[in-house]
Chains A and B, each alone.
Chain A
Amino acid sequence: DIQMTQSPSSLSASVGDRVTITCQASQDISNYLNWYQQKPGKAPKLLIYDASNLETGVPSRFSGSGSGTDFTFTISSLQPEDIATYYCQQYDNLPPKTFGPGTKVDIK
């Protein structure tokens, strides 16, 4: 199975800061990498699919990049409503689909 790692596991930043999260796959997954936001007590919400495609309705301050094994998720200007845990997820040819362990983002 493909393993996913994320770093950092948590971060604290100021409103307006640029925030970057990295995700690494244990083998080449091309661009089959998605990013989700989860707020406490809520279901995850899709933000980015196929590494860099912004889901409809998601603010443009969110972006993703990468291919192969290394991926980056960026919030260009952190807003108070962005406080959440962010997960990457891969979907290679066959199951299982696996998630990264998550990155908890809060306001400094």
Chain B
Amino acid sequence: EVQLVESGGGLIQPGGSLRLSCAASGFTVSSNYMSWVRQAPGKGLEWVSVIYSGGSTYYADSVKGRFTISRDNSKNTLYLQMNSLRAEDTAVYYCARDKGWFDPWGQGTLVTVSS
């Protein structure tokens, strides 16, 4: 079964750092494009970042220079390192396989940035 499971969310103070993980099963992360998508409370979906199978990475302007997407091929896991966190980064973060369309999605992990 193709599945994604995120972890690493939590409450963090403004300016802090957090690393999200996304463990994949049923397919190989490194052979696919993988994205992070977030959803602020009560709001719509916002694409955050993608890593291509070849290793190229792209970011939304809102997180460029603060977030870093990466993967560990040996663990078949995707990561999102989030630095200099702001209140407006508060959201549920989803990882997803990216074929142009996103499928499957993980269950999401909540990041709350607040003092």
Contacts and interface: CB of A to CB of B under 8 A. Distances in A.
Contacts, number: 58
Nearest to A95: B58
Interface stretch (A10-18, A19-27, A42-50, A68-76): A42-50
Contact of A91 (B45, B59, B100): B100
Contacts of B88: none
Interface residues of A, number: 23
B47 A99 contact: yes
A49 B50 contact: no
B35 interface: yes
A49 B44 contact: no
Main secondary structure of the interface of B (DSSP, over half): strand
A89 interface: yes
B100 A49 contact: yes
Contacts of A34: 100-102
A5 to B, nearest CB: 12
Contacts of B61: 96
Interface of A: 32, 34, 36, 38, 43-46, 49-50, 55, 87, 89, 91, 94-102
